[in-house]
Amino acid sequence: MTTTRMKPLRYSKPTPELYELPPLGMDSEALALDIRRNFGTFLGRDKHCRSTHYPYQALALAMRDRLMERWKRTRYAYEEQDARHAYYLSLEFLMGRTLNNAILNLGVDAAMTPALSRLGLDLEELMDVEHDAGLGNGGLGRLAACFLDSCATLQLPVMGYGIRYEYGMFRQHIENCLQVEEPDHWLRDGNPWELERPENTRRVQYYGHTEAYQDTEGRRHVRWVNSHDVLAVPFDTPIPGYRNDTVNVLRLWSAAATDEFDLGEFNAGSYTESVASKNAAENITMVLYPNDTSENGKALRLKQQYFLASASLQDVLTRWVLHHGNDLGNFAEKSCFQLNDTHPSCAVPELMRLLMDVHGMEWDAAWAITSRTMAYTNHTLLPEALEKWSVRLFGQLLPRLLEIIHEINVRFLKTVARRWPGDNARQARMSLIEEGSDPQVRMAYLAIVGSYSVNGVAALHSELLQQGLFRDFFELWPHKFNNKTNGVTQRRWMASANPEMAKLITENIGDAWIRQLDTLSELVPYAESSEFRAQWQAVKRANKVRLAALVRHDCNVDFDPDALFDVQVKRIHEYKRQLLNILHVIHLYARLKAGEDARDATPWTPRCVLIGGKAAPGYFIAKRIITLVCQVAEMINGDEQVGGRLKVAFLPNYRVSAMEIIAPGTDLSEQISTAGKEASGTGNMKFMMNGAITIGTLDGANIEIREEVGNENFFLFGLTAEEVEAARPHYDPNALIEADPDLKRVMDLLESGHFNQFAPGLFDPIIHAIRNPHDPWLVAADFRSFIDAQELAATAYRDRDNWARMSILNTASSGKFSTDRTMREYNAEIWKLTPVAPVGVTER
Ligand code: 26Q
């Protein structure tokens, strides 16, 4: 049934000479020659070329060729061993740039310098040409990218499956203190890292209806007919491990219209309309949804989710049949699917459908396979962010899937009834269908019921899932639940983003940390060496100069590299409390204006505050918070009396490649969410690795960060998750404001209209949010302890030498937060894969 434009060979009989090549050279001569050949021949450019684009492409293609040969050998090795695979299903892969990562992981960095210098090319300049692959919103998407890097480095047979959005995360501009969104057409200049494989095109069904029929042996089956089908065309991106010849695959699906699509309409006589109607199909993968909490009800989003699940499962099953024949008896022993949040959880009913309707299995056999292959990771504690889909919409769009979900639910509710006889309230609570005037499918419950493993992403988060959101399910199936604390890859976030620090570390303790991050603990004694501290400070200062240049360029604000660099970059969200950060900034401003610094015994600590992040386009209050940051920045930066002792900037278009400059140049990392709301956080880990000290609440992975680094090297403040819940019933922000002169002064300034002189009322929604006794984020409750912790940080920063010690100890204690550790845990407890090394090691 799969449509392909590709004809199979009939008369040709390829010999190994066609597909086997001697390994490509990895020395500077071979690299330079290939770059020249790509530039002059493949790209056809010459001495007149003045654009950075072609030298970049020529270099990228030279890297891709070297990835390609390792890629094939990795696949052969997996096939040879008939290796069990894990498939990481995710609507988002926030890959960022690839060039430097390819150079680093292939191990050609040393050879590249002379190669490029002969050709007169500057690597930094060429790296800057590449568009970020921004196929994600934030943490969840970047986590998927870090996972892939670690799996390849650990030589685990893991394949990523996602969507090749034509437009990634929007580009953010700030105009008149307002966020303006602009489409990100990241593929416009081509993408040298992807390889289209039209021969592996799959077909995905939508709409239509189901009908039952009997086969020749009288068995009852269901088929899905009259559907509108869309083709899924795969594009593969190589994922290299760190200097180990393993190259795994990220397969991204792109939607295309079927041939029938035009034929049908064509016969009806409307050629142009039919060609135009191809759009409907191709729109499915047009754009990434820019919300990092679920926006309910958009049919296109559900189409995307099913598109990914269906194409990927068909792909895996088709490959299975190719290598193992039609017997699926062993399928669950050889495969598992990790669901990155509920977004791909259509995979549960879709695998049931494929096993029954396409492969002829009975329900019980199909369920045995499905429920032994699916594993679900949750990334949120906000109950309102749990995904739901209207049963009506679901039934229209995916009629066969809805039938299967109903059947799963009937059987599941029998299990609940057996366990708690007569507890009807519990059955209603746990049902996959939320009843009401517009009944909803509860995707998280579907994922839990269909999976053998359910995990949270930090210790506190997993604990709160079990005691809160998923309590009923935990009582029923405690064995399914587990924690997998997030991490980040040190290859990108240290070795590549912070080469000077990497060099200093390697000179002193060797380079084992690049593969085994916990060896960074060997740095602990170096924190006591004044010489090492001085070197460490010099590296940090150079990185701050680099960050200051970015701020100068993008914000038109001057940051003094000798000031304390205080940074909060992440999606703009009320629970992340950028607002609390701004209240502190206003507090510092008020102190300076009141001349309090002069009266103080301790002198002032100059501070540069950087805030960056995108607001979901429809999130009104988040956008207003951006405006507040920008207005406060303008007021403070332009105030002569402040005189540069305090600087504030809002960094537009925060993205992966910006973080690569930001994290190395940060002194103080703001991780200030309301306790119990941030599932994990991963930016916190990137900052810690790069020697920033955290000011934070006991939330998400902050707790584990503090445990690793020690209380004395972390600025703690705020209510605990438990205290937050206890405080809610009698929370009285207005009383807190009256009782705290500092908070009162900040609110007075805000309410006086000082920051919105020409737009009266502009910040009223923000003021009301702070003063609201039902403020879910308890901004006023944590103000005092936040200000006090900030004061401690400012004082600590005055002793640069001791700050350097704390900074070193943060890096030295960050070993736990490598995704290598995270992936080892997923593998040991969920996936159970055996590492496989490719054979026939190629030249290095
Ligand atoms: C769902 C349905 C419809 C439209 C959009 C969405 C959607 C998209 C993205 C919902 C959520 C997201 C992203 C969530 C996310 O990034 N969560 C973060 O995940 C990180 C990795 O585990 C954690 O560290 C963060 O704490 C968590 O906020």
pLDDT tens for 96-110 read: 999 999 999 999 999
Contacts of 355 (CB under 8 A, 6+ apart): 328, 361, 365, 366, 369, 370
Alpha carbon of 292 to ligand 1 centroid (Å): 5
Mutation test residue for ligand 1: of 90, 142, 289, 293, the one with most atoms within 8 Å of CB: 293
Residue 323 has pLDDT above 80, yes or no: yes
Residue 657 has pLDDT above 90, yes or no: yes
d(C-alpha 483, C-alpha 463), whole Å: 8
Alpha carbon of 141 to ligand 1 centroid (Å): 8
d(C-alpha 686, C-alpha 518), whole Å: 15
Residue 813 near ligand 1, beta carbon < 6 Å:
no
Alpha carbon of 378 to ligand 1 centroid (Å): 9
Which tokens in the block code for residue 237? 């991106």
Residue 138 near ligand 1, beta carbon < 6 Å:
yes
Residue 1 has pLDDT above 50, yes or no: no
Which tokens in the block code for residue 128? 């800057």
Choose among 291, 806, 162: nearest CA to 540: 806
Residue 293 near ligand 1, beta carbon < 6 Å:
yes
Computed over every residue of the chain, the mean pLDDT equals 96
Which tokens in the block code for residue 741? 């002169």
By three-state DSSP, how is residue 456 classified? strand
d(C-alpha 684, C-alpha 571), whole Å: 13
Residue 462 near ligand 1, beta carbon < 6 Å:
no
Alpha carbon of 179 to ligand 1 centroid (Å): 21
Alpha carbon of 176 to ligand 1 centroid (Å): 29
Residue 629 near ligand 1, beta carbon < 6 Å:
no
pLDDT tens for 43-66 read: 999 999 999 999 999 999 999 999
Residue 312 near ligand 1, beta carbon < 6 Å:
no
Distances (CA, A) of 266 to 255, 259, 277, 549, 775: 21, 11, 11, 58, 58
Tell me the residue ranges of DSSP E strands in 241-300.
Answer: 247-257
Alpha carbon of 297 to ligand 1 centroid (Å): 17
Interior angle at CA 717, CA 548 and CA 815, nearest 5: 65
Contacts of 507 (CB under 8 A, 6+ apart): none
Residue 443 has pLDDT above 60, yes or no: yes
Alpha carbon of 655 to ligand 1 centroid (Å): 15
Residue 389 near ligand 1, beta carbon < 6 Å:
no
Mean pLDDT confidence for 523-533: 98
Residue 471 has pLDDT above 60, yes or no: yes
How many Cβ atoms from other residues are within 10 Å of residue 407's Cβ? 14
Residue 69 near ligand 1, beta carbon < 6 Å:
no
pLDDT of residue 453: 99
Mean pLDDT confidence for 601-626: 96
Residue 295 near ligand 1, beta carbon < 6 Å:
yes
Residue 776 exposure: Cα atoms within 13 Å on the Cβ side: 9
Out of 379, 544, 614, 706, the active site residue is 379
C-beta separation of 815 from 517 below 8 A: yes
With pLDDT > 90 as the criterion, what percentage of the chain qualifies? 94
Which tokens in the block code for residue 502? 């990497």
Nearest CA to ligand 1 atom 2: 294
Nearest CA to ligand 1 atom 10: 293
pLDDT tens for 586-595 read: 999 999 999 9
With pLDDT > 70 as the criterion, what percentage of the chain qualifies? 98
Out of 353, 576, 614, 647, the active site residue is 576
Predicted model pTM: 0.97
Catalytic residue flag (residue 686): yes
pLDDT tens for 796-828 read: 999 999 999 999 999 999 999 999 999 999 999
Nearest CA to ligand 1 atom 15: 140
d(C-alpha 468, C-alpha 50), whole Å: 60
Nearest CA to ligand 1 atom 3: 294
Residue 287 near ligand 1, beta carbon < 6 Å:
no
Residue 455 near ligand 1, beta carbon < 6 Å:
no
Residue 842 has pLDDT above 60, yes or no: no
Out of 388, 492, 571, 805, the active site residue is 571
Distance of CA 826 to the CA centre of its chain: 17
- What amino acid is encoded at 436 in this protein? G
Alpha carbon of 95 to ligand 1 centroid (Å): 16
Residue 294 near ligand 1, beta carbon < 6 Å:
yes
Residue 132 near ligand 1, beta carbon < 6 Å:
no
- DSSP symbol at 601: S
Residue 318 exposure: Cα atoms within 13 Å on the Cβ side: 13
Residue 262 has pLDDT above 80, yes or no: no
Residue 486 near ligand 1, beta carbon < 6 Å:
yes
Nearest CA to ligand 1 atom 12: 292
Q: Please give the number of the atom of ligand 1 that sits closest to the Cα of 486.
A: 22
Distance of CA 429 to the CA centre of its chain: 31
Q: Please give the number of the atom of ligand 1 that sits closest to the Cα of 142.
A: 21
C-beta separation of 733 from 781 below 8 A: yes
Residue 387 near ligand 1, beta carbon < 6 Å:
yes
Alpha carbon of 470 to ligand 1 centroid (Å): 18
Choose among 692, 664, 654: nearest CA to 495: 664
pLDDT tens for 386-405 read: 999 999 999 999 999 999 99
Which tokens in the block code for residue 238? 């190589």
Q: Please give the number of the atom of ligand 1 that sits closest to the Cα of 678.
A: 26
What is the side-by-side strand order in the sheet with 433-434?
Answer: 388-390, 440-442, 433-434
Alpha carbon of 340 to ligand 1 centroid (Å): 9
Catalytic residue flag (residue 278): no
Q: Please give the number of the atom of ligand 1 that sits closest to the Cα of 700.
A: 26
Out of 686, 706, 816, 821, the active site residue is 686
How many Cβ atoms from other residues are within 10 Å of residue 5's Cβ? 11
Nearest CA to ligand 1 atom 1: 294
Out of 258, 682, 697, 822, the active site residue is 682
Alpha carbon of 137 to ligand 1 centroid (Å): 7
Report the b/e string of 375-392 with b at 16+ CB within 10 A.
Answer: bbbbbbbbeebbbbbbbe
Mean pLDDT confidence for 134-153: 98
Residue 427 has pLDDT above 60, yes or no: yes
Nearest CA to ligand 1 atom 9: 292
| Number of helices (H), then strands (E), in the chain | 35, 25
Alpha carbon of 56 to ligand 1 centroid (Å): 33
Mutation test residue for ligand 1: of 94, 135, 140, the one with most atoms within 8 Å of CB: 140
Nearest CA to ligand 1 atom 8: 292
Tell me the residue ranges of DSSP E strands in 635-721.
Answer: 646-651, 668-671, 693-696, 715-716
Residue 840 has pLDDT above 80, yes or no: no
Catalytic residue flag (residue 682): yes
Residue 412 has pLDDT above 80, yes or no: yes
C-beta separation of 520 from 816 below 8 A: no
Residue 379 near ligand 1, beta carbon < 6 Å:
yes
Residue 202 exposure: Cα atoms within 13 Å on the Cβ side: 23
d(C-alpha 358, C-alpha 411), whole Å: 22
Mean pLDDT confidence for 769-790: 98
pLDDT of residue 279: 86
Catalytic residue flag (residue 570): yes
Alpha carbon of 22 to ligand 1 centroid (Å): 45
Distances (CA, A) of 800 to 354, 563, 694: 62, 11, 16
How many Cβ atoms from other residues are within 10 Å of residue 123's Cβ? 17
